[in-house]
Structure 1
Amino acid sequence: MSVVPSSLSFNSSVATSQNDSQDDAEPTKVKNYLKERLKSRIFLGRYVERRLADKRIGYRDVVIISAAEVSLKKDLFDVQHKLVAICPNTHWIGITDTESLGYSPGICLWTEIDNQPFGPFWFQIKSLKFRDGEVMVTLKCLRHISDAFLEVEPILTGAAKKTKPTENTDKKLENSVAALNETYSDFVETLKGFLSISNVKEFITFLLAFVIAIFTGSTSFINFLGNFILALLREFSILVKNSTPMFLGLLDFFSKIVGGFYILLAMLFRQSAPVPSMNKRTVGVYDRSRRSYNDQYDDRQFD
C-alpha cells in the first residue's frame, strides 16, 4: 500500500524537473535564434552621440539606423518584442526608438564603439550580448561613409537632426519666464536692502574717508616728488662741477695728440732745401791752385 504513493511522488518530481529544464531551455533557444537572426547583418547608420543610458548601466554609444534599412528595422522591432517577452527581468534592452531622444522617427541601437568619430558608417552586427540586467547589440565599424555617398543618402545628412517638440519648447519658455521673474524679484529685494538708511550712511562715510585718504596721499606724494627732484638737481650740479676740470684736461690731452700728429705729417712731407750752385770763376781758381799744388809736390819724392 505504501509503494504506490511513493512511486507517484517520484514520478511527479521527475516531471517537475523535466518541465523546469524545458522552461530553462526554451529562452536559451530563443536567444540563440535571435543571435543568429541578427548576426553578420550589414547596415547603414550614423553614430550620433554618447549618452547616459541609466545609472546602473552607464554610458552607451547611440547609433541611428538609416531609414533605407527597412528589413533590418523590422527585424530589430521583432527582436525587441521577443526580448521583452523572454527577459522580463532585464533592466535595459539596447534597441529603442529615436523619438524618445528627440530625433526624427526611427530606431537606434545602444552599444559600445571604441575610438571612432561621430558620423555615418557601414556597420556590421556581431551578436547579441546578454549581461546582468542589460541586452546589448554589439557592432563593428566597417567603413566611414564618404561625402559622395552622403549626397545620395539624405537620411544621414539631415534627417538625424534633433527635433524640438512644441511641448518641450513651451516648457522651456515657461521655465525661462519663471527664472526671469525669480531673478527680478531677487534683484528688487537686494536693491531694497542696499538702499536702507544704515547702508546709505555707511556708504557716505566710506566715500568721505576715501576722498580724505586720496587728498592726503596726493599731498604727501607731491611733497616727496618735489624733495626728490631738488635733491637730484643738487647732486647733478655737484657732479658737473667736479667733472668739469677732468673733462677740460681730457680735451687738452686729445688736442695735443692731434696737434702732434699734424706736426709729424708736416715734417714727413716737407720738401728738402735746394743745393746752392757754384760760380764758374771760383771753380777755375780752385782747379788752378790744385794743379800747381800737384806740380810742386810729387808723390815719388817720398819713395
Structure 2
Amino acid sequence: MVKLAANDSDSVLNKEAVQRFAKQILRNHVFVGHFIEQRYVDELGRYKKIVQIPNTEDMFIENLSVAKRRLERFFNGSKWIGITFPNTPGAPVGFNLWVDIDEQIFGTYKFLVKGLNFLDNEISLKLKTINTVDNRAISRASSENSFDLSNIRNLSNSLNSHQSLMNEELQTPTDPLISWSNLKDVTIFMFLLLSAIISGSGQILMFLMDFALKLIRELSNIIKVTTPIFTSVLDTISRMFGSVCFLIAMLWRHRNNTPKGPVVYPQRIEYRAAYPYKDRYKALPYTPRSSVTITELPD
C-alpha cells in the first residue's frame, strides 16, 4: 500500500488521472470493518450498506481522506462519494464507507478493496469480504495500542522528572547525613514506634484474654446443657445392651437344659459277719416253741 502525505495541492489534469490516482492508493488494501446498518440515500434513490472503519486503521483512513479531497475537487459536487467522515452532516459517527455488497453481512469482517465504482452520479468502493473477525480481538488491539502510548508518555515523564531532580541535586549543596535534627527525628520516631508496639501488644493480649474467657463460658454452657442428654443416651444404650445380653443368656440356658435320666448313686454295704469270730463253731441257740397257738374266745 502506498502512503501519501496530506498535502495534495498538485493539480489534476483530467478525469482518468484522478480515477487512476484514487484506485492506486486504495486498491488491494485489506482492512477491518464493522457493518452498522443499511440506509436509504436520497441522492441515489436506493439503499446502501454502511461499513464503519475503526480508528486503528489510521493509514487507510488517511489515504481515504486524500482520495476524497481530490475527487471532490475535481468533480465539484457533481457526483455523490460514498466516503463519510465524523464531521459529515447526516452520516453516522466515525469513518464510514457506503458500499454495495451482494452477500448478507452482520458484525465485523475483514474486507479487501477490489477497486472503485465510477458511475454517472456516484463514486463508491468495491469491497470483498474475506472472513469474520472477533470484536474482542479488535478491542484488545486498540487497548494494547493505547497502553503502549501511555507507557511511552509515562516513561518520558519519569525521565524528565529524574532529570530535573538530578539538576536540583547538582545545584544544591548536600546536607550532612548525621546532624542534631536527624538524631532528634530518629529518636522521636523510635519512641513513637515502641509506644505503638507496646500499646498494640496490650490491646491484642486483652482481646485474646477476652476471647478465651468468652470461649470458656460458652463451652461450659454447652457442657451443662449436653450432660443430661449424654447421660440419658448412655443409660438407654446400657439398658438396651443389658436386655440383649439377658435374652441371649435365657436362650442359651433353655437350649442346654435337656432332661436327663435318674442318677443312681452306688451304696456301700458293710459286711458284717453273722456271728462273732470266736463263736463261729458254736451251734445256734434254739428255743423250743409250740407251733400251735390257742387263743381263748370270749363268751
Provide the TM-score with structure 1 as the length reference. Answer: 0.40
Q: Which has the larger radius of gyration?
A: 2
Higher helix share: 1
Provide the TM-score with structure 2 as the length reference. Answer: 0.40
